[in-house]
Structure 1
C-alpha cells in the first residue's frame, strides 16, 4: 500500500512540474521577452458581420499599439465551438479569445441573467451608458472571479427580435403554441412562455437545422445576425418585438491575460476599448441595411404592439428580479444617462 502511495505521489509531482513548466513557458512566450504572438479569437458570425468589423478594428489597433508584435487570427462561424464551449474553454485556457452572448455567463454570475430580462433598457444609448459605467466594470470583475475569463470590453450583439415560419406576430397571443428556441437560460424560457410560445433551449449551432427540419418554428436574434445566418431561408416573418438588448462581451482567457506583461495587457485593453465604438456603430448600421435586405429576400416585417408585450412579462420580473439582484436591476432601469 505504501509503495502504491509513493508511486502516486511521484506521478503527481511529475505532473505538477510539467504544469509549472508549461505555465512558465506560456508566460515567457507572452511578452517578458517582447516576442511576437498571434491570438486565436472565436466569433459566432461570419465575415462582414458586426462581430467581424469589431475584431478587425481590434486587430488593427493592437498591431498599431504593439508595432505589429501582437495580432489576432479570426475564426468565424463557431469554428472553435459554440458560445458555451468557447466561454468554458477560455475559463480553462484552451481557447485564447472569443466573442459570445451573455447567455452562457449566467451560470457563473447570476447577475448576468439580468440581460435576459425583457425590456430592461429604454434604448441602445441607455444600454451603452450602463455597460460603460461602474456597473459594467463590476459585472466584468465578477465574471473574471467566477468564470476565470477576462472581459476586455462590452460590445454589441444588438436588439433582439422574433422570427417564425408560422404567422405574423402583432400581440403575444399570436405566439401561442409556436415552438420557439431560446438560449440556455431559464429567464428566457419563462419570458417566451409568458408570451405564449412553447419555449425550449437549443444550442446555437443547431438552430438553423432545427428550423429547417421543423423541430422548432421560431427564434430570436439581432437583425444583422438574422441576415448573416440566412434565417430568411427558413423563416417567413420578422416581428420587431425588440424585447432584449443583447451585449456582446469580448473576452480572453484570464490565465493567458495574466501571463502577459503589463505593457501588453494595457495594449490589449486599449485596443479593445478603441474598437468598441467601431463595433457598435457597425452593429447599428448593419441593422438598418439588414432589415432592408431581409425584406427584399421575402420576409414580412411586422410591427407588434409592444405595450402588450411589456405587460405580458411583468410576472417574469416578479419571479426573477429577487432571484437575480433586485437592487441592481432597479439601478439599471433607473440609470441616468
Structure 2
C-alpha cells in the first residue's frame, strides 16, 4: 500500500511537472525572404536551434513564398500572426524611411573585414535603429550584412551611359530607385516573384543582388552578365513583434537575445567566402556568364553620382535622417581609419 501511494504520488508529480512545462512552452513562427540554405535561412535555422536546445519552445521557420512576399510577412508580423520576421531595408524602407540609408551608393565600403567590423561596432546600427524600429511596433534584434551587391544585365556595362535606357529592377524602395536613376538607368520596382520572368521576357534588362542570391535564384540563367560596381552591401534585419516580445517573461527575452547573437555569429562565419563559392558555381553552370569588375576610374564615374542620392535621402527623412547619416559616417570613419 505504501509503495503504491509513493508510486501514485510520484506519477502525479511527474504529470504536473509535464503540464507545467507544456503550459510554459510555445511554438513561435518566424518568416524570412529567402530560400532554404540561403543566408537568411542560415540565420533562422541557427536561431531556431538555439531556442529549441535551451528551452521547451519550438520555432517554425517559413521561407520565401510560403506565406507570401516580403510585404505580406511584415504585415503578418505587425498583426501578431508571426512572432519573428527577417526583412531587408529594401522593403522596410517604406515603413521606416531612415532604413533606406543602406541604399546610398558608395556609403559602405566593399571590404568584407571593414563591413563586418562596422556592423559589430556601429552606434547607428546598434543604438539608433532599434529606436526607429520600435516606433513601428518592431523589436530589432539583429542587423547583418549578406554580401556585396552585384548588378546583372543583358550585356556587359562599364559606364553610366551603358545603363541608359535599361529597365533595372529595384525593390519597392524609393531611394533605391533614386540610385539607379542617378546611375543612368530606368528603375523598375518589382516584387521578387516577378523578377526571373521579367528578365526572361525582357520586361526588365537587369537587377541587383548579392552573388549567392543570383546563384540560388538562377538569375544568371536569364541575366548572364555580372558587373561588380562596388556600390554597396545587401543588408537585412531580424526583428520580433514588439508587443509579443515585451509581454514575454524576462528569461524568454534573454533567451531570444542570446539566440539572435548565436545566429549572428554563425551567419557571419557562413558568409565569409560565400561570394567566391557562389561565383564559381555560376561559372561552372553556364558558359554564357561574363564577369566585369570595374576599375577605380570606372567606379569613380558612378561614385560621382552618389551625392544626389544622399541629398534625396535627407529630403525624405529630414533632421533624423541627417543625424543618422552623420552617425553612419562617424562609425565608418572609426572602423576604417579614414
Report runs of 4+ in structure 1 exceeding 6 Å deviation: none
Q: Please name the residue that 2:38 is paired with.
A: 49
Q: 1:114 to 1:32 in 2, by over 3 A?
A: farther
Tell me the CA shift for residue 33 of structure 1.
7.3
Distance in 1, matches of 2:21 and 2:128, equals 29
Q: Please name the residue that 2:49 is paired with.
A: 60
Q: 1:279-305 CA deviation, whole Å, 9 max, x = no partner?
A: 122123321110111122222111122
Q: 1:28-68 CA deviation, whole Å, 9 max, x = no partner?
A: xxx997522222221222222122222221122222222xx
Q: Please name the residue that 1:277 is paired with.
A: 265
Q: Please name the residue that 1:181 is paired with.
A: 169
Q: Please name the residue that 1:210 is paired with.
A: 198
Q: Please name the residue that 1:300 is paired with.
A: 290
Structure 1 residue 326 and structure 2 residue 328: aligned?
no
* Contact 2:175-2:312 at 8 Å conserved across structures: no
Structure 1 residue 99 and structure 2 residue 86: aligned?
yes
Distance in 2, matches of 1:78 and 1:287, equals 24
Distance in 2, matches of 1:319 and 1:54, equals 33
Q: 1:124 to 1:218 in 2, by over 3 A?
A: same
Q: Please name the residue that 2:26 is paired with.
A: 37
Q: Please name the residue that 2:68 is paired with.
A: 81
**What's the secondary structure of 1:232's corresponding residue?**
helix
Q: Please name the residue that 2:218 is paired with.
A: 230
Give the one of 127, 146, 150 matched to 2:139. 150
Distance in 2, matches of 1:33 and 1:269, equals 22
Distance in 2, matches of 1:50 and 1:185, equals 21
Distance in 2, matches of 1:71 and 1:120, equals 39
Q: 1:206-259 CA deviation, whole Å, 9 max, x = no partner?
A: 212221222211110011111111101211101112322222101222222223
Q: Please name the residue that 2:7 is paired with.
A: none
| 1:233-272 → structure 2 map (5 Å cutoff) | 233-272=221-260
Distance in 2, matches of 1:226 and 1:187, equals 22
Q: List runs of 5+ in structure 1 lacking aligned partners.
A: 1-30
Distance in 2, matches of 1:50 and 1:84, equals 19
**What's the secondary structure of 2:304's corresponding residue?**
helix
Structure 1 residue 220 and structure 2 residue 216: aligned?
no
Distance in 2, matches of 1:154 and 1:316, equals 22
* Contact 1:50-1:286 at 8 Å conserved across structures: no
Distance in 2, matches of 1:125 and 1:93, equals 37
Distance in 2, matches of 1:118 and 1:251, equals 25
**What's the secondary structure of 1:243's corresponding residue?**
coil
Distance in 2, matches of 1:43 and 1:285, equals 22
* Contact 2:28-2:82 at 8 Å conserved across structures: no
Distance in 2, matches of 1:285 and 1:59, equals 24
**What's the secondary structure of 1:242's corresponding residue?**
coil
Distance in 2, matches of 1:78 and 1:250, equals 18
Q: List runs of 5+ in structure 2 lacking aligned partners.
A: 1-19
TM-score (norm 1): 0.84
Q: Please name the residue that 1:314 is paired with.
A: 307
Distance in 2, matches of 1:143 and 1:158, equals 23
Which segment drifts farther, 124-133 or 259-268?
Answer: 124-133
